[in-house]
Structure 1
Amino acid sequence: MTAAVSQSKTDNIEFQGRKAQRADSRERRRAILEATLRIVVRDGIRGVRHRAIAKEANVPLAATTYYFKDINELVCDAFNLHAQDSIKHTEELEESGFAALEKLKGANLADPQIFDLLVNALTNAIMTHIRSQVESRDRRVIEHTFKTEALRNPVLAKTACIPQASTTGSIVSFFKLLGSKEPEADAHIVHGVILYMEYQLLLGQEMMAIEMAHKSIRRMISQLLALSVKK
């Protein structure tokens, strides 16, 4: 199920630039996009220029204009590439959540001990995901840079919604299996809190130490699960 979900989401991503047919051409095109992402991390969107990209990717200047008619198209496709890769990362969170539920399949979640086991398992799975996200600092810088740019660019805004919807959709599926009466609302709460925790930890805020993040996630999961198993 996971692979099918991810595949359908990535299919929604529409690359703007000239398509590459040959393998070497595809490699050069990807090198240009990856160079663009590195520049975004280092210098922000304003640093994205054809000459800077060509130098970073070690390709002729003409290559950047061959595949992309302008900087806007290049920036959009760089974000598309980032979004495509990000969707694949949502599988880990989805799989860990379903694995925790599978271990307790058929168990009485109203039993305090069973309930506590599930809360701990889900809390640990989410915290593992958050740590992984925070450790991938460059990817988070890219993500937040493009989210800001998407507020001014409707093409980017469309793509920005795809990986977010993929993650939320995975969480919705989990809550549906759990029997939640409001799986969509529960999923938005969980995803929103995860994104907030990630951002605060990236900023290095003392108020959001990893211990506080763990405590907050556990409290959220405990309360949402209590609503789901309540008869």
Structure 2
Amino acid sequence: MAQVHIPETREQGELPENRLLRQSIRYRGRKTLRAKSEIRRLEILEATLRIAARDGLRGIKHRAVAREADVPLAATTYYFRDIHELISDSFMLFAEKARDNLDGFYDTINLVLDTIPTETLRRGGPQRRELAARLSVISTAYLYEQFTKRRQQVLAEQVFLMEALRDDRLAGLARSYREAWTAGLRQILERLDSPSPVRDAALLVNVTLGMGYDTLLNDQRVDYNALSETVGRVIGLALGEPEPEPS
């Protein structure tokens, strides 16, 4: 099985939930020993993700994936014994990429917090409202990019999470994926002296998933100002502060 490489420095300070997600990412398809074979395997999985986002899981067939990846039909059956193994491994690849993307966002937030005076990080501290506004700007920019430039990934996320409700073999990874997402937020909220970091981390995840779903459902351009207003209100709530003033 292909192993996910995680830099040693990140593992040392890794949250238990993040470690659980990393350990849950286990590919079931044929093990690859050569770089060329690994590239082809990833091309097949990337093609599967594109089909999942475009046509849903019902569109994932060996022949359709081979055509999308521009590889011989025999290549898909060589690396993956059946459709479920192909679907499962594509979810693994999605979770791996999504985790790295989230880690980058959390790293950015934590770097910002490293520059903030300790008294401001405490609830009711000076310039707390300005900090909430700054975090709102960063978070809005991140979500705007997700909902516009990474729209296919957002759609694939919705597809896989819905499929996990029906497939116990995917449900475990979906839970680990969500727990890792929530854990990173909880750690940040704890640094910010949130009144209820566990509850508010779950709230932020639910709101973000809902916004992603609404964006896809309405199939319209994302209103940056409306997104900023929503993010500002939620962050202000999580920090126990009034809604931050527009930047």
Q: TM-score range by the shorter chain?
A: 0.7 to 0.9
Q: Partners of 2:88 and 2:132 in 1: how far apart?
A: 39
Gapped runs of 5+ residues in structure 1?
A: none
Aligned pair 1:74/2:81, yes or no?
A: no
Q: What amino acid is the match of 1:129?
A: Y
Relative to its length, the structure with more helix (as a share) is 1
**Number of corresponding residues:** 225
Displacement of 1:166: 1.9
Deviates more, 1:75-84 or 1:40-49: 40-49
Q: Which amino acid aligns with 1:49?
A: K
Matched with 2:5 is none
Maintained 8 Å contact 1:13/1:162: no
Cα offsets for 1:7-64 (capped at 9, x unmatched)? 7333321111121111111111111111111222232211111111122222222221
Measure how far apart 1:73 and its partner are. Answer: 0.8
Matches within 5 A, 1:7-156: 8=19, 9-108=21-120, 109=122, 110-111=124-125, 114-135=127-148, 136-156=150-170
2:234 aligns with one of 215, 220, 228:
220
Question: 1:175-214 alignment to 2 at 5 Å?
Answer: 175-204=189-218, 209-214=223-228
Amino acid aligned to 1:131:
Y
User: CA offsets, 1:130-177, max 9 Å, x none?
Assistant: 101101111111111111211111111122223322221111111222
User: What is the aligned-residue RMSD (CA, Å)?
Assistant: 2.4
Q: Residues 205 and 138 (structure 1 numbering): CA distance in 2 closer, same or farther, change over 3 Å?
A: closer
Query: 5+ unaligned residues in a row in structure 2: which ranges?
Result: 1-7, 242-247
| Residue 128 (structure 1) shift | 1.2
Following TM superposition, the consecutive aligned residue runs of length 4 or more in structure 1 with deviations greater than 4 angstroms are: none
Percent of residue pairs identical: 34
The alignment's TM-score, normalised by the length of structure 2, stands at 0.82
State whether residues 158 and 213 of structure 2, in contact with CA within 8 Å, keep that contact through their aligned partners in structure 1. Answer: no
Q: Show CA shifts across 1:196-230 (max 9, x none).
A: 22222333388x84333322221222232127xxx
